[in-house]
Amino acid sequence: MAANGNGVSTTPKSPLARIQTQKNGGICHDDSGKPVKAQTIDELHSLQKKRSAPTTPLDGVQGAFATISEDERQRQQLQSISASLASLTRGTGPKVVRGDPAGKVQSVSHVAHHHHIEAPTISVSDSSLKFTHVLYNLSPAELYEQAIKYEKGSFITSTGALATLSGAKTGRSPRDKRVVIDDTTQDELWWGKGSPNIEMDEHTFMVNRERAVDYLNSLDKVFVNDQFLNWDPQNRIKVRIVSARAYHSLFMHNMCIRPTPEELENFGTPDFTIYNAGQFPCNRYTHYMTSSTSIDLNLARREMVILGTQYAGEMKKGLFSVMHYLMPMRQILSLHSGCNMGKDGDVALFFGLSGTGKTTLSTDHNRYLIGDDEHCWSDNGVSNIEGGCYAKCIDLSREKEPDIWNAIKFGTVLENVVFDEHTREVDYGDKSVTENTRAAYPIEYIPNAKIPCVGPHPKNVILLACDAFGVLPPVSKLSLAQTMYHFISGYTALVAGTEDGIKEPTATFSACFGAAFIMLHPTKYAAMLAEKMQKHGATGWLVNTGWSGGSYGSGNRIKLPYTRKIIDAIHSGSLLNATYHKTEVFGLDIPTEIEGVPSEILHPENTWADKKAYKETLLKLAGLFKKNFETFTNYKIGKDNKLTEEILAAGPNF
């Protein structure tokens, strides 16, 4: 149909018969749809993403934000973040706006639409002319996009995990960790020989804080995580992590407890804040600085500053140190341990240094995993501090660690691993970057994880030692005093290799099985442990996963199936009914019989062909225990000037 110049329709002549169609009649598969509501490609892309609707009904809801609009809620949230990023020289926080700057038109009017915080400044500078964009509690998918777009060394592996690099530092820097000493911490914290706490003053902390905050404010965007620590709802801690990298944000998303949308809307002011400036170094000419790396804790301000290292583990363990301070103040014991629970509700704690089998033995498909590393023991029972796991990956295999292997999927962070350039399959045996390769994933990635990660009071406290000297029994039942003594000692003995081929056992002692992270004197944690064990009827055990029949080189390592039988007997309670006899020197009670374990290996002396060598090695190890414990014998507890005679008597006697 056409129209002539007068607007009159004409029908062109055609040899074909005219096809009659009816309006709205019988058209199949009409997928033309309506035109898109977009004028540009950017607008079209914006239609891909549906805006998240408020998850909490505003009507009849009690809470700080229950009666305010969505716009006002966002304004208050941004105001809180702005306050966290306040520079002390200006006295106010930056102008902050939510969202990725790459996806927004940079103009004041556009930012105003997003309810930024207008902050007056003392003096005008370039930093006053810009907005700091806040990427707030992004999802793993969003963080993947940020990492792959903007962070060199970020890749998706064949299983869907995000492989990243932590830069020059591939482990913690304990010599660069500082704690502010003030009138309160001077008396409360453990200082001096053996302590992990290295002092700094308030002024130096503020210099480093200003340096980190100014660096973060200078960036186009920062990542902000608001999350929780401690699954016990009565004693959880609100933490805010401000970081420069998507990798760090995803790591903390996995390692801390993830708030529900409702909890996030009512998050309010955090109890503790981390400023992670990552690669930006501290000023080495600043007082107390010994390198370009500095990890600083200020317990009075409830803040932590990280400069000159991108290793994500500094955040995890820094918060653990904070919990080692905050929780005992509430009469809650913080513990560096694994924890699992039987189907009947019996809970066991596992303590052990690297190489003792803590992860292997606490991972039991017949029991629920409460957590693998950090816990609290309160009047309510036990609770995991974290929301995720941070597993070692070196030499990881599907056969040996199937749960960890299967947890390395979308959402997991893989640190410093090596993978095939084409297939992106990870070679877990490759140490080209570092031996300390790690995977961080949410705890719900473990099939038998107990969610929420809480349990009743423990029945068993298991102290693990890999004794390469070969003189400790495979299992011993401990008295309360012995539990305190061995808990304070935190012993294991591993094999240190040297270039000339000489390999001898090396004793390692780490107070409370985590000396690098404790804030108070070890005896305070040990006294709390003994008090809770006594109150709730828990039993202490010392389990040797190391050598039998001789030291390393002459004896053999105790078979894992035997150790598992021992652990099973502890869980079932059958080991409580065994017949015991006491060993010499260490005075340990060892059972005469355990089902499934050869009786001759239960007493280590029986397995040594050279009895004289056994006695000499036993006395050597006892001497190492005594020497290590000298650090603690003169510590003042209450009105006394030394540890109770009961604890000292629980150590080796020769």
Write out the H or E segment, with its range, that includes residue 570: helix 560-572
The 3-class SS string of 262-308 reads HHHHCCCCCCEEEEECCCCCCCCCCCCCCCCCEEEEECCCCEEEEEC
Classify residue 92 by its DSSP letter.
S
Element (H, E) at 250: helix 246-255
Q: Among the options 177, 211, 316, 317, which is catalytic?
A: 317
Active site residue 336: yes
510 is catalytic: no
Annotated catalytic residue, options 354, 397, 572, 592 = 354
- Report the C-alpha gap between 308 and 288 in whole angstroms: 15
**Catalytic pick from 258, 373, 524, 532?**
373
State the Cα–Cα distance between residues 426 and 262, nearest whole angstrom: 38
Let me know if 564 is a catalytic residue. Answer: no
| CA–CA gap between residue 396 and residue 645 (Å, rounded) | 45
For residue 611, give every residue at least 6 positions away whose Cβ sits within 8 Å of its Cβ, in sequence order, or none.
Answer: 605
- Residue of 178, 336, 521, 532 with catalytic role: 336
Q: Which of 73, 209, 248, 438 is catalytic?
A: 438
The SS3 of residue 632 is helix
Strand positions, DSSP E, 150-289: 155-156, 162-164, 177-180, 199-200, 221-229, 237-243, 272-276
Instruction: Kindly name the residue from 95, 172, 253, 571 that is annotated as catalytic.
Output: 172
358 classed as catalytic: yes
pLDDT for the residue 642: 60
Cβ(468)–Cβ(495) below 8 Å: yes
Q: Which of 87, 309, 359, 383 is catalytic?
A: 359
Q: pLDDT tens digit string along 390-403?
A: 999 999 999 989 99
As given in the structure block, the two tokens for residue 357 are 């089998």
CB 117, CB 95: distance < 8 Å: yes
Q: What is the pLDDT of residues 278-310, one digit of tens each?
A: 999 999 889 899 899 999 999 999 999 999 999
Instruction: Say what the pLDDT of residue 41 is.
Output: 77
Is the alpha carbon torsion for 286, 288, 294, 296 positive or negative?
negative
Q: Is 438 a catalytic residue?
A: yes
Catalytic residue list contains 610 = no
Whole-angstrom Cα distance, residue 20 to residue 22? Answer: 7
Please give the pLDDT value at position 363: 85
Main-chain phi, psi angles of 244, to 5 degrees: -100, -10
Q: Which residues of the chain have pLDDT under 70?
A: 1-33, 47-67, 104-129, 496-502, 636-643
**Which pLDDT does position 637 carry in this prediction?**
63
- What is the end-to-end Cα distance of the chain in Å, rounded? 113
Instruction: Compute the half-sphere exposure of residue 210: CA atoms within 13 Å on the CB side of its CA.
Output: 14
Closest CA to 344 of 312, 380, 368, 365: 368
Q: Residue 68, Cα to own-chain centre: how many angstroms? A: 35
> Residue 552 has what pLDDT?
92
Show the tokens assigned to 452: 């929420």
Round to whole Å and give the CA distance between 319 and 271: 12
Q: Is 412 a residue of the active site?
A: no
pTM for this entry: 0.87
**Closest by CA position to 578, among listed 491, 486, 490, 475:** 475
Helix (H, G, I), strand (E, B) or coil at 541: strand
Beta carbons of 377 and 348 less than 8 angstroms apart:
no
pLDDT confidence of residue 285? 87
Question: Is 172 annotated in the active site?
Answer: yes
In the three-class reduction of DSSP (H, G, I as helix; E, B as strand; rest coil), residue 365 is classed as coil
